[in-house]
Structure 1
Amino acid sequence: MSTEQRIDEIVKGNDVVLFMKGTPLFPQCGFSSRAVAILEHLGVEYASVDVLQDMEIRQGIKSYSDWPTIPQLYVKGEFVGGSDIMMEMYEAGELAQLMEEAEVKPA
């Protein structure tokens, strides 16, 4: 299975998935930490992928989304953005609305 196919399975197999550096319990960068905090505050169920554990995924996710940085958030198979976009959407109430409209399960 190619890296792109592996990423595609992860993205389409989870309602919400965060590709990040580290894990939700131990984020390895400030941006990933902020992304986790936002998702935790929204109280939604989400999967995470530690890109530091798999260099193919780490590089492949950038090509998959055509987005150069990590973390990256996907909701119902759609790319949402990185931590800055997540923060802007969260502060505007748009991220909570997106989760509600996507019928994402509470954590």
Structure 2
Amino acid sequence: MKPVEIYTTPICGFCSAAKRLLDGKGVDYREIDVMRDREKKQEMMQRAGRHTVPQIFIDGQHVGGCDELYELERAGKLDPMLTA
């Protein structure tokens, strides 16, 4: 399985929903809490070009936030991205 990184905060419902989808698929991911670490938030904004959480990367490729993750799932494209 390809590496997954997800930038989150502990109070974000969209972050929880994205993690729930990944957990349901048995995906291991590296969670990066940007609420407690300003440098990590800056890193996220540089990588994603966005300031909202979650921001999700699969194998270093930015796939977007929670809505985009669920759209990939609905379109049947998430599993191939995780394993291809």
- Shorter-chain TM band: 0.7 to 0.9
The list of structure 1 runs, each at least 4 consecutive aligned residues, that deviate by more than 2 angstroms after superposition, is: none
Q: Is 1:62 matched with 2:50? A: no
Q: How does 1:76-95 map to 2 (within 5 A)?
A: 76-95=59-78
Q: How does 1:8-87 map to 2 (within 5 A)?
A: 15-22=3-10, 28-87=11-70
- Unaligned 5+ segments in structure 2 are none
Q: TM-score, normalised by structure 1?
A: 0.70
Superposed CA deviations along residues 37-85 of structure 1, whole A, max 9, x for unmatched, are: 1111121111101111102212331122212321011111111110110
Aligned residues: 83
- Unaligned 5+ segments in structure 1 are 1-13, 23-27, 102-107
Structure showing the higher strand proportion among its residues: 2
- Quote how far apart the aligned CAs of 1:89 are: 0.7
Q: Pick the structure with greater CA Rg.
A: 1
Aligned-pair Cα RMSD in Å? 1.5
Give the share of equivalent positions with the same residue, in percent.
33
Q: TM-score, normalised by structure 2?
A: 0.87
